[in-house]
Amino acid sequence: MFTHFRHRAAGFAELLSTPLPIESYLRLIDPLWSATSIPARVEAVIPETKRAATIVLKPGAKWQGHKAGQWIGVGVDIQGVRHRRCYSITSVPSDKSGRISITVQAIPGGLVSNFLVNNIGFGDIIYLDPPSGEFTLPDREKPNFLFVTGGSGITPVMGMLRTMEAAGEIGDVVLLHHAPNAEESIFSGELSDMARRFSTLIIVEVYTGPGVPSPEHAITNVRLDQLCPDWRTRSAWSCGPAPLLASIEKAWKKEGIEAKLNVERFRPAMTSGVGASQGGRVRFTTSDIETVADGRTPLLEVAESSGLLPASGCRMGICHSCDCRLVSGTVRDIRDGRIQSDPGDRVQICVSVAAGDVELEV
């Protein structure tokens, strides 16, 4: 603690001798003060599995709360560069302590996810966007739910289940959760305890093994009949890897009950064949950086791999934080194949790929 105080005091002395905006002085006194963002202090890092951890955060005064199931954009400073990713909130909205939590699973090669799981610590400051997302617990709907999740797709659902538990009633709920094995099944112990406390909650964990799940683990109408015979009558909520969501949407569409299905994606849904653009030369005009894109990688990732840090948020084509001006050339939207080629168009670079040479105002 003394070392921490000494660093703060040294930093304060340095600031007093340097002409900086008033916000810099105020942030030194109170790290959770900001006029432009929502700083949050790390209060705890709780391991969930070998590659997943819950980060408990104390947001600053600008935090206005969230709804169960929503996600937030998280800004993390790594080697002097702020990187942004989105994570579901796993805590109860009514937590009187004012703390919130996100649960992060480290992915191979994932800069931010690995940093949050393995390197961040107590007292560190990260930066939050306001909560977003429509995958939220209904206010008045009778709790007669079917949750189908895979991997870290359990995180928004865990926020919903904890919120139901805090209200004293979980109701008639079935959760089908898919994980490679028991050791990598996030929240497995807590979910088992929750099911023991509430007889109306049924937990079914499906272990798919490493790599791509085998066909017998695919969600089909027959398999749903076996695991949850009344699935057609339930309000369904699903979050997880793209193949899982594709099989779920196919099952519900086959029954003509798509209106009962709510889906949360970590990546935008891609139309078949849309990603097969020819790619081309990409020039970011503001930064005067030029590179080559393969026609499958979203232009946001192309910019980041070139050392740029464009504004971004959801990375799914929802929030429009990444919109930038098209100077020249052609881009293709990976969700529906829509082409944009008119100079001056606003392009969502998180869901657009190069369809030939392109210049963007980034």
- Domain residue extents for the chain: 22-128, 144-264, 280-360
CB 261 within 8 A of CB 231: no
Q: In DSSP terms, which residues pair with 128 in a beta bridge?
A: 38, 74
Look at residue 296 in the predicted model and tell me its pLDDT.
87
Give me 173's structure tokens. 């709920």
Alpha-carbon span 69 to 88, nearest angstrom: 7
Task: Tell me the CA distances in angstroms from 126 to 5, 30, 77, 129, 133, one per residue in order.
Answer: 20, 14, 7, 10, 20
The DSSP code for 240 is: S
Phi-psi region of 181 (alpha: psi -120 to 50; beta: other; left: phi over 0): beta
Architecture of domain 144-264: 3-Layer(aba) Sandwich (3.40)
Task: Tell me the CA distances in angstroms from 356 to 172, 281, 317, 328, 336, one per residue in order.
Answer: 52, 7, 21, 10, 18
Q: Output the CATH code of domain 22-128.
A: 2.40.30.10
Chain-wide mean pLDDT for the chain? Answer: 86
Per-residue pLDDT tens digits for 266-289: 777 666 555 456 899 999 999 999
What are the strands of the beta sheet with 172-179, ordered from one edge? Answer: 201-207, 172-179, 144-150, 235-239, 261-264
**Dihedral (C-alpha) 120, 124, 127, 130: value to the nearest 10 degrees?**
90
Per-residue pLDDT tens digits for 170-205: 989 999 999 999 999 999 999 999 999 999 999 999
- 113 versus 275: the higher-pLDDT residue is 113
Q: Indicate if the pLDDT at residue 130 is higher than 50.
A: yes
Look at residue 267 in the predicted model and tell me its pLDDT.
73
Per-residue pLDDT tens digits for 309-352: 888 877 888 788 899 999 999 999 988 889 999 999 999 999 99
CATH class of the domain at 280-360 = alpha beta
Residue 215 — very low, low, confident or very high, per pLDDT cuts 50/70/90? low
pTM of the model: 0.80
Q: Do domains 22-128 and 280-360 have the same CATH topology?
A: no
Convert 189-214 to b/e letters by CB count within 10 Å (16 or more is b): eebeebbeebeebebeebebeeeebe
Residue at token pair 């050791």: 183
Q: Three-state DSSP class for 47?
A: strand
**What long-range pairs does 251-257 form, CB within 8 A, spacing at least 24?**
251/219, 251/220, 251/221, 251/224, 254/221, 255/221, 257/232
Sequence-distant (6+) residues with CB within 8 A of 219 are: 148, 244, 247, 248, 251
Task: Tell me the CA distances in angstroms from 62 to 25, 39, 136, one per residue in order.
Answer: 18, 9, 22
Give me 87's structure tokens. 């994570």
Q: Indicate if the pLDDT at residue 252 is higher than 80.
A: yes
Q: Which residues in 135-200 belong to E strands, given as ranges?
A: 144-150, 172-179
